[in-house]
Homo-oligomer: A and B are copies of this chain.
């Protein structure tokens, strides 16, 4: 319907997650009217991101160098390892400023329906890291959903003969949430995990 290259742009934008055909059109028309330098800056950063962003050779976090900022930081405790699914989970945990250990990014969660089994995740690399005995506590910080739970259960079983403290993030009510609106599974976990108030 649109002139050749405009349609190409709409098609490419429409492939991005969360961008439907209407949004793709809207963005394309915005770009048609935008300054050429602004559009070129976006194009450049797209190329740069693929050229410069690598994955840390130790923890598989996103990094512009061979190893990531966290793995290079000598102040980070090498005995505590937080296992997460994705890079964005590293950022989420970092944002809390509560964690001083290091990470291991699995690259996803076990999901047979999507064809993702343990071999598609960086579990073998995790085992290799645990081999030298530096790590004494492993925090399984996978997502609190079906796939995340399956992954945590799988890892717990795999690690049962290791001399390691293996923990999971607490389940319960979100802070600032409303008891009335909590789903029954969350509320059930909050009850089961109740703590002394004094």
A residues at B contact (CB < 8 Å): 1-6, 8-9, 12-13, 15-19, 23, 25-32, 36, 38-50, 52-53, 62-64, 68-69, 86-88, 91, 94-95
Contacts and interface: CB of A to CB of B under 8 A. Distances in A.
Grouping DSSP codes into helix (H, G, I), strand (E, B) and loop, the A interface class, with mixed when no group exceeds half, is helix
Nearest to A4: B64
A40 B45 contact: no
Given A12-B42, A64-B4, A49 B32 contact: yes
Copies of this protein in the complex: 2
Most buried by B among A4, A5, A39, A41: A5
A3 B36 contact: no
A30 B86 CA distance: 11
A47 B40 contact: yes
A115 to B, nearest CB: 15
Contacts of A88: 25, 29
